[in-house]
Amino acid sequence: MKKELLMGTALVSTLGAASIAEAVTATMSGNHQTGVEFDSPTGGTDTNAQVNDNNFTVSLSETTDGGMTISSSFKVMDENTKEDYDAGFTLAFTDGSKLDVLNAGNASSSHAVSVPGSAGAEGVTVTSSNLAPTGLDFMNASTALGVEYHTAADFLGDGLTMSFSASTDTGAAAVPTYRTDSHVAIGATYVTDFGDTTVTIGAGYSDSEGSDSQTAPTADNNGIHVGLSAVTGDLTVAVGFADGEQAGLSDNGSDEITADVVKAGVKYVTGDLTFNVGIASGDAQDNTIGSSGGNDDAQDVTSASVSYAVASGVTAILGYTTVEASDEGASTDDGSAWYIGANMSF
């Protein structure tokens, strides 16, 4: 209840008491990416298909007489969800700090280091029972009723920024499918220079609680991640590691995992060409909710791409991904995929 009151007070006091001098400023952005994927699963049938990714976003912002900026956005078209109106409000203060209110997300995810991989839209589909993750923020669940505070730059020291987030229960009755009820999280990014190299270190911790009306989970969503990125001129090298637990997986939301992920990647830009190479290795022990022991799943993904800037806002992409996977300890769903296409952004 205290969390709900604090969130409501923050929203009312900052929006209701604000003095807006002019109409809200709206800007538009988006992209249209289309191409062909050539999928070659081991032991399966080769397939070819057109792959699209279209996004159109409207961003809204205005500054109060006191200098605070209020912003929000909505996505009116997306190839997968068709629309996304769930964004809350971001309040940017004059000291450089920010507060996200409603659908604020998870502070741990906000500081996950970006690790290069293929820029293409190709991928190899593994069986739905293979629950091994390949992302650094797989355990960072939150609810829509949340806030996230971002500090200004150089918080407590040069090059350091931090975020803190929390969300609360919606109050709805528990259902047979596991759901996240609340979370608390913290994340930090530190940036420094070593000669000609800029080094970025990102880390985060998240702890969530959830419910299931049938069987209580052995472990909720929780875990840590840490990553490092080094940029020297046109060369970027990055690595990351994550370890944690995740509940509510599989088609019916009745599984939970204990997992870890290791990622590494390199990006090099020369003229109009960008080369990406990345690897991701995820291992998980999956169980039905409320049980322990379980079986081992794994995914080892290697990807690479070449991107060419054809014109301003237009990029041609050639990508390749190969996957080695095992489900319940048995090798399955290995394969590779190519992608060739173009992205137009505005």
Q: Which fold has domain 2-345?
A: Porin (2.40.160)
Mean pLDDT of 209-238: 88
The pLDDT value given to residue 43: 77
Closest by CA position to 31, among listed 319, 304, 341? 341
Burial of 210 (0-12, 13-18, 19+ CB in 10 A): buried
- Residue 98 is predicted with a pLDDT of 96
Alpha helices (H) along the chain: 2-11
Asked if residues 136 and 115 have their Cβ atoms less than 8 Å apart, the reply is: yes
Mean pLDDT of all residues in 320-344: 90
pLDDT at 83: 61
pLDDT the model gives residue 85: 63
Task: Look at residue 290 and tell me whether its pLDDT is greater than 80.
Answer: no
Instruction: For residue 14, give the 3-state DSSP assignment.
Output: helix
* Range name among 41-50, 97-106, 109-118, 303-312 with the lowest pLDDT average: 41-50
Secondary structure class of 18 (helix, strand, coil) = coil
How far, in Å, CA of 150 to CA of 153, rounded?
Answer: 9
pLDDT mean over 53-68: 91
pLDDT score recorded for residue 69: 95
Mean pLDDT of 10-36: 71
pLDDT on residue 35:
96
**Average pLDDT rounded to a whole number, residues 83-97:** 85
In the chain, % of residues over pLDDT 70: 88
Per-residue confidence at 21, pLDDT binned at 50, 70, 90?
very low
The string of pLDDT tens digits covering residues 228-274 is: 999 999 999 999 999 999 887 876 667 888 999 999 999 999 999 99
pLDDT tops 60 at residue 144:
yes
CA 245/CA 219 separation, integer angstroms: 7
* pLDDT for residue 1 is more than 60: no
Where are the chain's structural domains? 2-345
The answer, yes or no, to whether residue 113 has pLDDT greater than 70, is yes
**346 pLDDT above the threshold of 60:** yes
The torsion of the CA quartet 253, 255, 256, 259, rounded to 10 degrees, works out to -110
Predicted local confidence at residue 300, as pLDDT: 96
Dihedral angle of Cα 77, 91, 6, 178, to the nearest 10 degrees: 30
- What average pLDDT does range 173-197 have in this prediction? 90
Query: Which residues are bridge partners to 84 per DSSP?
Result: 75
Give residue 84's pLDDT band: very low, low, confident or very high (50, 70, 90). low
What is the share, in percent, of the chain residues with pLDDT greater than 90? 62
Q: Which residues lie below 8 Å from residue 227, measured CB to CB, with a gap of 6+?
A: 112, 113, 115, 136, 201, 202, 203, 238, 239, 240, 241, 263
Mean pLDDT of the chain: 87
Q: pLDDT tens digits, residue range 293-309? A: 777 889 999 999 999 99
Secondary structure tally for the chain: helices H, strands E: 1, 17
Neighbours of 333 (CB within 10 A): 19
pLDDT higher than 50, residue 12: no
pLDDT at 345 over 70: yes
In sequence order, the 6+-apart residues with CB closer than 8 A to the CB of 48 are 36, 37, 38, 39
- Only one residue has tokens 């070593």, namely 194
**pLDDT, mean of residues 107-134:** 91
Mean pLDDT of 66-80: 82
Q: Which two tokens stand for residue 198?
A: 């800029």
pLDDT at 219: 76
